Amino acid sequence: MSDDTSLELPFPHRRNPHQNQAAEQHRNWLQRHRELAAVVDPSTYARWDIVELAALVYPESTAEDLALAADLMGFYFLFDDQFDGSLGRRPDQVAMLCERLTAITYGARPAGTSVERAFADLWRRITKGMTARWKARAAYHWEWYFACHPAEAAGRNAGQPPDRDGYLMLRRGTAAMESIFDMIERLGRFEVPQHVLHHPLLRELRQLAADIPSFTNDVRSYAQEAQRGDVANLVMIVQRDRSCSAEEACAVVWDEAQRMADRFFELREQLPDAYRWMELDRAQQQVAQRYADGMALWLAGYLRWESRTARYHLD
């Protein structure tokens, strides 16, 4: 897949005007958590354009909140890259680490490791000013994210790709998308009513917005993951199941991602009818629309960043 391609979307990406200010604050955060940042060479990390990613996926946030979003994005990538080496094949050790991180969301103090200190800082800032209900939901989503990493490590030891259903169960956890969508509310300073958040239309929109980047990411990262022995990649699954070449498997996965994107924007057009049928008042409609728009902005911004970042280029 060439690096200048992306899915066709009827919704343009936008960029947050506070990107430069957030970049300086993000550099300070990396310095404060330099042991975590040391997982990756600084020049390599700089080429990933993490602040650019945050600016594209959260274009409407304030400068302070954009810095938080950049720190959060940086944490995801730096945390994930800890498992590229031998640790990534030790599910018992990964489980211990992830248990300690999850405990922070339920009030435990960090034990002192760099990754725990970094996450504790993020969790404090993420939850500031949010309701108990939102915090409980966010804690569950972070638990899901952390708890999937030991299973991913076990999969590397198995040495073969899972079946499609098993892949989706794992990928929907390790992709951390639910916590990313929680941040639409956090950065926008609003909260979607529970009967709206869990309406089937919003749930399907959220699932599509979560799966699409995972599918395109598997295409872009296929070469790197195959090189280091990762197996939780949909391209590998399609290649095995269809007995086809990697290039053909990439095309199959990409086409499925495009169909999902088309479905996302088809459903998005149905939202006004759903609001009417749910008898939402004007304020509830505005909140629901901000959330749906936030997912669309996420898709447009992430796909723009993914098509250009050096993170998915082999050296």
If you write DSSP's letter for every residue of 174-210 in order, what string do you get?
A: HT-HHHHHHHHHHHHT----HHHHTSHHHHHHHHHHH
**Sequence-distant (≥ 6) Cβ neighbours of residue 224 within 8 angstroms:** 312, 314
DSSP state of 61: S
C-alpha 210, offset from chain centre = 8
Residue 171 reports pLDDT greater than 70: yes
Length of the chain, in residues: 315
HEC assignment per residue over 73-90: HHHHHHHHHHHHCHHHHC
Express each pLDDT in 77-108 by its tens digit: 999 999 988 998 999 999 999 999 999 999 99
Percent of the chain past pLDDT 90, that is, above it, reads 88
Express each pLDDT in 19-44 by its tens digit: 999 999 999 999 999 999 999 999 99
Give pLDDT, residue 2.
Answer: 40
Express each pLDDT in 139-162 by its tens digit: 999 999 999 999 989 988 887 888
Domain boundary assignment for the chain = 19-312
Does 3.30.70.2860 match the CATH number of domain 19-312? no
Give pLDDT, residue 84.
Answer: 84
Q: Is 258 helix (H, G, I), strand (E, B) or coil?
A: helix
